[in-house]
Amino acid sequence: MSEHRIEKSQHAEGEGQGYQRCLVMAGGGFRFGYYLGIYAACQERGKTPDVILASCGAAIAGTIIHHLPDNAQRLTWLTSPQMHAFWRGLQANPEKSLLKAIGGVAKRALFANDVRRIPDLFQDYLFDIPAVLPLPDNTHYLGAPDLAIVAGRLLFSKSEVGQLRGNRKLYAETIFSNHRVASILDGMCSPLASAEWKHSAVADQLLFETQTPVADAVRASIADMYYFRCHQIGEHHYMGGVLDLFPIEIARKLGREVIMERKGLYNKFIDVPALRLVMGIHGNQRLHKVFQQQADYWVDTADMEQALVKHQISKQLFWLRNRLALRIPERHEDFVEMINLQWQYGYRKAMSAFNAK
């Protein structure tokens, strides 16, 4: 992904041919280190993907895999002091007090079915992301899997926030990728634009960005609504890969074989209302539809939150100061232990999936 951007796939000879195997990396929040373990298990069992489809925090893991040739280098990068400093650099939005944050959650829960107005994804967020993501340089090794990153382009401007939406579509599902991926998917509609989602704010057409710097693509994908500020690339703004966190339809079009997670359900008090209010989609209904479709291997990570509690990154409430913060391991060695536990969890879960076949 280079410095210029295009919206339409460019066909080249042989680019329309599908991949052998697609690994879907569906989010993971701050626990995305387990994807490195899943990938290591894929390699060990002869199931190495030739394309990775990543969203949200998993876009970081996918990028590290795409640029670094072995598991030791990948894990070293993810546990580096630079990566630790990056997460320690996340700061609360100074305009978002604790009471405002709680009020926002309550309001979204009360008015979750009210998708009439354009939401504020420019100012209504909890945390600022540091300017520089510590990613490997923009080269990849011979035999590296191709990488496709999911995000959502905003089809409205800051000045339109709060206006009545009507029947207008507010987001375009966007795939940051190479030309081959764009060629395979060219003409495909977003799964979130299906007629079954009658209130969906997602446009029909998939957009493709084949010349965007990978750091920008990752930043766009991790910009989850209400958590981080939407990310600007050129004249466009993007919300996170949460727009299509489980893109199984896209994965099945890309690869003849699909490896995907079976995650736990969305939180019905926080996540479900937010998805309904912003996108007009019921997250758990979408998830059930995903699980009804065909994947060759389902990696069961439904117990992830319970299994990965040690040294985890989580929200911290300071009632007396009326502030919200992130609890991030202060010591680098605790951060390393946290990532190693994530890696082991992903490796173990993927091995269980392969052994079940």
Q: Is the pLDDT of residue 295 over 60?
A: yes
Q: Is the pLDDT of residue 337 over 60?
A: yes
Q: Categorize the per-residue pLDDT at 3 as very low, low, confident or very high, splitting at 50, 70 and 90.
A: very low
Q: Is the pLDDT of residue 255 over 50?
A: yes
Cα distance between residue 189 and residue 260, in whole Å:
21
Pairing status of strand 255-262 against strand 297-300: parallel
pLDDT at 29: 78
The percentage of the chain sitting over the pLDDT mark of 90, rounded to a whole number, equals 69
Q: Categorize the per-residue pLDDT at 114 as very low, low, confident or very high, splitting at 50, 70 and 90.
A: low
Mean pLDDT value across residues 106-114? 71
Q: Is the pLDDT of residue 172 over 50?
A: yes
> Using one digit for the tens of pLDDT, what is the confidence trace for 146-170?
999 999 999 999 999 999 998 899 9
Q: Is the pLDDT of residue 68 over 50?
A: yes
- Tell me if 127 sits within 8 A of 90, measured CB to CB: yes
What pTM does this model have?
0.92
> Using one digit for the tens of pLDDT, what is the confidence trace for 238-250?
999 999 999 999 9
pLDDT at 17: 76
Return the closest-CA partner of residue 355 out of 47, 129, 124, 107. Answer: 47
Q: Is the pLDDT of residue 7 over 50?
A: no
Cα distance between residue 155 and residue 150, in whole Å:
16
Pairing status of strand 171-176 against strand 146-154: antiparallel
> Using one digit for the tens of pLDDT, what is the confidence trace for 177-220?
999 999 999 999 999 998 888 889 999 999 999 999 999 999 99
pLDDT at 73: 96
Q: Is the pLDDT of residue 310 over 80?
A: no
